Structure 1
């Protein structure tokens, strides 16, 4: 239990710093896009780049390489988080998982319905207000420090994991281009090979990652958004280590004794000591959990590079409110979905399910705090921007929607913070 809490604390701290970096990257992007460097900024991200593999070639703009390739690594990390939580975390049992699952479902369904109600003739953007930016939301909670109930952070993490799973399903099933069925067999064979490695007990990550690149290529060729390849790969990464903790301790003790027994006056290691160290290194590799090792490696890359780069390349929108007037209902659908739909969905679904005795609210969280989390869930930001680029191709609509996302996320964050700080102040008084 202590180990799990330490891991969660490290996860939350990384997400908090990532949220700060995302904010700085976004501010920088908006400033640059509206400065004399605006055209150069636009030209940079629309610069074409290609890769040739024999007779096959993949050519996309720099923005699409970030959105399709680097974001596939982000979704690989998301998939690893989902799998971990489902196997050993807050979603590993029905009793623990049901409450955040229902909260997340409400936080996805109600915003989508609000959007569709306002855009019956153009419902494709319904996925935009469904998303929650976990890095920003947790970053705000961390900045509030001791004002925040620790159980609230745990609830937000579990809710966000389910929310991410919902986003993955929406991207995979709704936001796809023309489907090329001839590549399904290729992708299926590669994915079967990846699972064969898992079944055979292979814990080295390199074979999985090499086959994962091939899976990404064919998923992209099919027409399904290539980030789905990251999630599919994540589900196939083994969670079992090759040897158990006790076996690692016993083997390492023997090798340490072997190392100690062969100490000599010569100031370099002898071959006995080198063999002992190599055995310890081998045991070190075998005892590590492949899933956790990959997730740990990707988390820093994602938090400190991929997501800030994504924000800097995608958040540079011209401050021009004329586009909002031309696409008013789309923007209102997004704004109302995030500001109103998220808190109503998260609070309403859980409250109704509790009254119907379908779930039990955790004793460590109050209904007031669930409302506050509902507003923090309205911080869509990077995930909402990501889905915006999938839902629309018209640059004027995309720019207008981004402005709506910025405004809605800011308002939702302010309300969430006020609710949390007000509760703390009332408690102290």
Structure 2
């Protein structure tokens, strides 16, 4: 009986050994749509749990002390450092051998990223009346969510659009990390910071000497995280610093460089554990009628919404198109100004890093309203961007 499957594929499937379930699941988690879906599920669980009669259990688990930090702090300072390490690996690769390694190719996403940080920050500062810390919340773009929306809704978009968005998001995240380091560092301990620099130098030396043993690198990385955390600098900085010091060019006879190998191994843990667990404990904010009504009248919440929905679109698309008009940059192959507008709207999906900055910059009811505003604005930006991407895809197919 005809199975409907080409014979060559059936033969390949029979002759190919079955992939171990763990490896298959890891490969599944590496896809952008799955990573975004897991993140979305964790967010939904957090919102439902925190707005249910079991809210006490949610806050109890989030605030439960464990080895000197609460469970929520471990998710924010510990697990999220893994996410930033993977982002640092991606950034290092782009800077050395990727799209950002050529000046002309790097100019457009860098200018767009800067515009996508400055304009939202300015709008949020103006709307909030200069409230401390609020300006920083809408500067970030969530890589996982943005790429997931693009993968699901932007099937008709050219490959250059994805490269542009990825490069923009990586530069954007680097900027957000610098904002965290400069603006939201607690009491500074210089001796611990010096120790962190020494450990980072050790990690760099191990990379230079081509040492690949995990039993050497893991203790150095963990000690670096501890030193950065104790120095008062936000611990996620340790992750991006280690990522930027990792070697990305393979030696002769080396199948993969350490950065590529580590990204391949750790990305499923980042997408399947670190970011969803952080979202689980960060996104549990009140979203009942009174909370939503408060957003409409709270200047902090309105500043966050305006920064993400208006500032990102204007900043990213406007600065990119201005750079092209002035002749200092070129559009990615196959893309148009309207494509850049869709990318700008998609940049308004702040989520992960915006939630993190909201937690660092604000406290109490103000922080809760700001996080609710981040969730609302990110959801609206994602839906608007998806509609624009679908529309652009139809136009391309019709043309």
Q: TM-score normalised by the shorter chain: which range applies?
A: 0.7 to 0.9
Evaluate the alpha carbon distance shift between residue 240 and residue 370 of structure 1 in structure 2; reply closer, same or farther with a 3 A threshold: closer
Asked whether the equivalents of residues 13 and 142 of structure 1 are also in contact (C-alpha less than 8 Å), the reply is: no
Are residues 1:244 and 2:252 paired? yes
Equivalence for 1:357: 327
Asked whether the equivalents of residues 115 and 123 of structure 1 are also in contact (C-alpha less than 8 Å), the reply is: no
Deviation of 1:236 (Å): 1.8
SS of 1:128 mapped into structure 2 = helix
Evaluate the alpha carbon distance shift between residue 240 and residue 414 of structure 1 in structure 2; reply closer, same or farther with a 3 A threshold: closer
Are residues 1:24 and 2:41 paired? yes
Q: 1:151-190, aligned counterparts within 5 Å?
A: 151-190=160-199
SS of 1:147 mapped into structure 2 = coil
- Which residue of 383, 390, 397 maps to 2:353? 383
Deviation of 1:103 (Å): 0.8
Unaligned runs of 5+ in 1: 1-9, 51-58, 246-285
Equivalence for 2:123: 114
**Alpha-carbon distance in structure 1 between the residues aligned to 2:148 and 2:328:** 32
- Which residue of 368, 393, 402 maps to 2:363? 393
**Alpha-carbon distance in structure 2 between the residues aligned to 1:392 and 1:295:** 33
TM score, norm. by length of structure 2: 0.88
Kindly report the root-mean-square deviation, in angstroms, between the aligned alpha carbons of the 2 structures.
2.0
**Alpha-carbon distance in structure 2 between the residues aligned to 1:419 and 1:147:** 11
**Alpha-carbon distance in structure 2 between the residues aligned to 1:11 and 1:41:** 29
Deviation of 1:201 (Å): 2.8
Instruction: Spell out, residue by residue over 1:92-122, the C-alpha distance to the aligned partner (whole angstroms, 9 max, x if none).
Output: 1101111111111111110011011122441
Q: 1:230-309, aligned counterparts within 5 Å?
A: 230-241=239-250, 243-245=251-253, 287-309=255-277
Radius of gyration: which is bigger? Answer: 1
Unaligned runs of 5+ in 2: 1-26
**Alpha-carbon distance in structure 2 between the residues aligned to 1:145 and 1:348:** 21
**Alpha-carbon distance in structure 2 between the residues aligned to 1:111 and 1:362:** 24
**Alpha-carbon distance in structure 2 between the residues aligned to 1:183 and 1:143:** 44
Equivalence for 1:317: 285
**Alpha-carbon distance in structure 1 between the residues aligned to 2:129 and 2:70:** 32
Are residues 1:81 and 2:90 paired? yes
**Alpha-carbon distance in structure 2 between the residues aligned to 1:204 and 1:15:** 29
Asked whether the equivalents of residues 154 and 386 of structure 2 are also in contact (C-alpha less than 8 Å), the reply is: no
Equivalence for 2:388: 419
**Alpha-carbon distance in structure 2 between the residues aligned to 1:367 and 1:206:** 50
Evaluate the alpha carbon distance shift between residue 121 and residue 140 of structure 1 in structure 2; reply closer, same or farther with a 3 A threshold: closer
Evaluate the alpha carbon distance shift between residue 60 and residue 239 of structure 1 in structure 2; reply closer, same or farther with a 3 A threshold: same
Deviation of 1:416 (Å): 1.2
Deviation of 1:198 (Å): 2.4
**Alpha-carbon distance in structure 2 between the residues aligned to 1:48 and 1:309:** 16
Equivalence for 2:77: 68
